């Protein structure tokens, strides 16, 4: 399975997803420039993505502590999520996300 990741520089990348891996882990494994400073411990918002609106019903909105962390971002939107909290299911092949500037190391 794969996800499609758009970067702030305008490039788009198809990224393979291993079973059980999060979107953040998949982005890192692909060598894309995601900050992800806490490594997926949900202690920061440096893996911030926006989920393509066409996928948001399947992925679901941020909740609880994730919302609190996203509230610190100048780039937060209704479709914002922490990529470390999104664990794609097999039927999500082709999920589209956009890495936000506060998570980009480019």
pLDDT digits (tens, 9 = 90+) for 1-16: 999 999 999 999 999 9
Query: Is a pLDDT exceeding 90 seen at residue 106?
Result: no
pLDDT of residue 89: 95
Query: Is a pLDDT exceeding 90 seen at residue 70?
Result: yes
**In whole angstroms, how far apart are CA 38 and each of 45, 76, 92, 103?**
9, 19, 25, 12
Mean pLDDT of the chain: 97
Closest among 35, 58, 31, 63 to 48, alpha carbons compared: 35
User: Exposed, middle or buried: residue 100 (CB in 10 Å: 0-12, 13-18, 19+)?
Assistant: buried
Beta bridge partners of 80: 50
14-48 confidence digits (pLDDT tens):
999 999 999 999 999 999 999 999 999 999 999 99
Closest among 32, 62, 63 to 50, alpha carbons compared: 62
Domains of the chain and any CATH numbers: 2-103 (3.10.20.30)
Using DSSP's 3-state secondary structure scheme, residue 78 falls into coil
């Amino acid at each position: 399975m794969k996800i499609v990741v758009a970067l702030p520089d305008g490039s788009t990348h198809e990224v393979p997803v291993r079973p059980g891996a999060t979107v953040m882990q998949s982005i890192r494994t692909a060598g894309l420039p995601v900050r992800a400073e806490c490594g997926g411990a949900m202690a920061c918002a440096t893996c911030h993505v926006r989920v393509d609106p066409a996928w948001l019903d399947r992925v679901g909105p941020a909740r609880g502590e994730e919302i609190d962390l996203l509230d610190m971002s100048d780039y937060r939107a209704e479709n914002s999520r922490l990529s470390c909290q999104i664990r794609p299911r097999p039927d999500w092949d082709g999920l589209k996300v956009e890495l936000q500037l506060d998570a980009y190391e480019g």
